[in-house]
Structure 1
Amino acid sequence: MQTVKIGNTNWQTSNIALGIMRMGTLSVPQSVAALQAAHEAGINLIDSADIYGNDPELGRGSSEIHFGQALKQSGLSRDDFYIQSKGGLYANAANQITRYDSSKEHLIAAVDGILRRTGIDYLDSFLIHRPDPLMEPEEIAAAFDELQASGKVRHFGVSNFNPQQLELLQSAVSQRLLVDQLQFGLGHTGMVDFGLHTNMTDQGSVDHDGGLLEYCRLHQLTIQTWSPFQYGTFAGTFIGNPQFPELNRELAKLAEKYQVSKNAIAVAWILRHPAHMQVLIGTMTPAHILDSAAGSDVTLTKQEWYDLYLAAGNELP
């Protein structure tokens, strides 16, 4: 398992992380098996959010409850993992997300809830889950300062923020923002398409993100890529999907060459980008965790990277 430096720090973690959004649907023994498989693969960063899991009895956050129970029963220790979670979404009594909430009060309560559910004393990193149109950067700064001073959070970042939102928040907070979680993969290549279609007027030239990929590289923010095997947003996976025959043929060819799975090749495609991204995988099946993690040790050639990009239905101008 290869490592990646988080932000501009010397904080090194595995370049593949395990997202536990689906852990709330598992039994505790199944959750233990997922954690043990991740540890066996060399994965040492766990990514969560306070809204992950919506068990009828436990409510929202059940994924973190299952994670905390599994960690205690797995034979692994808190120090085996960098544990990261997100907050800033508000759920009503019916467990429906009705607003984004980046107020100081909400963010501090979110972290307290995360620590209680997971049964740990601190988070290695805490991210603002979504940009809040009513965001007041000074309130977030006050929350970050209190959370850091209390020892509850060590590092901070965001998820799904564009460059101007990042600039606005960074102008107020004293901590360096280290992470931006963004969707990226062979089925979601917009950040790359825009750069390739510069000075053109076709669909690929439309900048949906404000030059986000280049911004993160210039400002040393680590991009953590979510839903790496999905096409669209939550439309489904392209792996083994008959809607993507050319892409699956290319994935299979390279999987045979490198003696890994197609999932591992899709991971390796992301990791080949010089932005030094970190891939968040969300599978809870131990075998799939292990076969996806194998992509960490595959270095595609430049031609193979472009072959996959083209096979995914893209073009080079």
Structure 2
Amino acid sequence: MRPPGASSLPDAVRGHWADRLAPAALKPYLRLARIERPIGWWLLLLPCWWSAALAAIAAGQPWPDPLHCALFLIGAVAMRGAGCTYNDIVDRDLDTKVERTRQRPLPSGQVSIKGAVAFLILLALIGLAVLLQFNLFAIATGLASLGIVALYPFMKRFFWMPQIVLGLAFAWGALMGWAAAFGSLSAPAFLLYGGSIAWVVGYDTIYALQDIEDDEVVGIKSSARFFGEQVRLGVAVCYALTVIFLTAAFYFAGVSWMGFAGLGVFALHLGWQVARIDREDGAGALRLFRSNREAGLLLFAALVLDSLLRF
């Protein structure tokens, strides 16, 4: 077992600047916010950027609003950190029983409960400052997600598919980009949200394969356990729904061939993930999970090019 001062957790990026350069007193808080695991905020950010790009196409703009995209980036980092801190406060006792999580700052004693609560408040205030830069409708839309975020950590105790609730929270950005651009929501945004939820359920099922044995011992429920031997089929269904919903969203937003070409490549990548799933390979599951960043960025780039090619 690693000592409480261990430099990183098993699924952290090796050699990350937070481990190498941050002052010692700050390192536990940066780990609490998962700064050394940037894939989380990337996956929270990408639906925001997809939504902003889709809104630009629908509005006849050459590109998504750069200020909105920058604000979404800051907000994603802050709110992912706040969500992880809140999750760790709620799960601190469960985390001591799971190999991958027992060296997190709270269960290992590197951060106190009071310190974690203070840090959570700080991150939430940063997120609020970002949210207040948008129009009133977007502000209200953002605040409406807080109830789902608050509910998620408890779901794994009694709901076999907590990834659905995670999807409702993590895909919320699919509504935010459109709301920030138009001050309202319409069919493309809701369809994009539906597709993003299915994407989250799919990739987080793959992620949950890392913990499936510990989860069975502790009694934590997950979609990976629910699907069991049929996990590949379960993820395939989620990813198929992702492509179907995104296709409809693109159609109603007026996306042209470039955006649909990007969606085709995105779909092929999801299919590649499904083909590579191995319930016994936790390290491989982590690699597949992380690959969704590149897939999501490719889709965003295709939507931006779709806008640019119209001018």
Q: TM-score higher than 0.5 here?
A: no
Bucket of the pairwise TM-score, normalised by the shorter protein: under 0.3
Of Structure 1 and Structure 2, which has the larger fraction of its residues in helix?
Answer: 2
The TM-score, its normalising length taken from structure 2, stands at 0.26
Of Structure 1 and Structure 2, which has the larger fraction of its residues in strand?
Answer: 1
* Larger RCO of the pair (alpha carbons < 8 Å, separation 6+): 2
